[in-house]
Structure 1
């Protein structure tokens, strides 16, 4: 039983440590455009059966209830909470918010890898192409003239250059979504990559297939609720301390038991 007590408490400590790691990451990204807060799912471990409830009146001993001892907890998933973040006005023409479920497809030209992002924090590279802050090229590629007066992007993703108050359409922004968003691989830098679990991307124009609409001059803020996250952080810390107390209490009892046998 000694080993079971310590093992069970240790699984709890590891679970709370994971919670602290996830919560601290959420708080760190409270100002990251397009960031989605995380949700951890746990499951209890196998039970040790001391007495099984009888399921037949013919059994010699009829027990009305089971006596089972749990052996702890394990994490089973860390999911992203995909609720829409607040949309904040920036008045920057290449800042684009998605009001919906879609992702911007972008290409890392060095590796040839396509990624997906919720962050619409775009700029232009030296060739006038619309790129992320890390230089990943928006797909399909759109190039802006260096003589343009202004850029207009409508909610359906059509991109226009404006010359002398005349709009000329030069490209179309497309969005991607996935059957299983939680299956995406988080790369960092606001980027995700496709996996077998996520399924292949479904690519459509904004305004179709639940992709959502675009909002030029805006950015989607993180959906992290800093107050709620802080409350969860305090609760997790207290649970961690209580589990440490379980281990300390057991060690004290074990020491007293050893002393009683030794006297």
Structure 2
């Protein structure tokens, strides 16, 4: 079989995965705090037919060799953790992180996860929870008698009550950061869990030691640039089409070789 058929196949596989990543980015362009994903490509192993520097005769060495590549592949997907733009909502339980860091939440099975999606609500017991009902660590409990909630830039959660001008502290968001946030594992729902690549969570108070600040009444928007993704989509489609043409050309060569034997 011609090498070009296999090489074209690897190219189509790689561009298909590239299309999958791009379409997922576009599908989440309106998802709060979503971070776009970028596929990483690399070339595959080479077959060396003639080594560079080998002897061409008794006196001379070849300045270049002869190698044939085996195609390309997507080796990883990197999450781009650039800050998304801020959108003011007016909701007192909407909180955006301006800078580095994540909110720490507790999943239903007790696992700790991390998110930047700060569209929170109150549970029936007064706990601050995510839209999926997961408890936000450190936020405390807001009593049913509270008339307003104030969240400072340091993540301090306070509430007011009827007839009192004094704010009462309920808690303070547990903020976390990682040595390599791009190494976090996405588990859906805008949640992440640590991996050996991300390192362990480093808990800090918002606004200290490089941690971002919390901004009440705002949410962080997706950092997906739709125009850029559409350009990438067109480029991936064209690359896929070119690989299919290489398959067609290889097939035509095989047909001609087969016809010569008849």
> Structure 2-normalised TM-score?
0.95
Q: Number of residue pairs matched?
A: 260
Q: What is the distance in 1 between the residues matched to 2:135 and 2:104? A: 9
Residue in 1 that maps onto 2:27: 28
Greater Cα offset, 34-43 or 57-66: 57-66
- The alignment status of 1:16 with 2:15, answered yes or no, reads yes
Query: Relative to structure 1, is the Cα distance of residues 244 and 97 closer, same or farther in structure 2, using a 3 angstrom cutoff?
Result: same
Q: Could you tell me which residue of structure 2 aligns to residue 254 of structure 1?
A: 254
Which digits, 9 at most, give the CA deviation of each residue in 1:88-108, with x for residues without a partner?
000001100001110100001
How big is the shift at 1:29?
A: 0.3
The equivalent of 2:113 in structure 1 is 115
Further displaced range: 231-240 or 164-173: 164-173
Unaligned stretches of 5+ in structure 1? none
Moved over 3 A (4+): 55-61
Match of 2:70 in 1: 71
Written as runs of structure 1 = structure 2, the 5 A alignment for 1:1-263 is 2-54=1-53, 61-108=60-107, 110-163=108-161, 164-262=164-262
User: How many angstroms apart in 2 are the aligned matches of 1:202 and 1:223?
Assistant: 24
Calculate the aligned-residue CA RMSD, in Å: 1.6
What CA distance in whole angstroms lies between the structure 1 residues aligned with 2:96 and 2:200?
A: 23
Specify whether residues 257 and 210 from structure 1 end up closer, same or farther in structure 2 by C-alpha distance, changes over 3 A only: same
Paired with 2:184 and 2:224, the residues of 1 have a C-alpha distance of: 19
Q: TM-score, normalised by structure 1?
A: 0.94
CA deviation string 1:52-92 (max 9, x = no partner): 22178995552111221111112221011111000000000
Tell me which moved more, 3-12 or 225-234: 3-12
Paired with 1:101 and 1:247, the residues of 2 have a C-alpha distance of: 47
Distance in 1 between the 2:195 and 2:91 partners? 33
Moved more, 253-262 or 20-29: 253-262
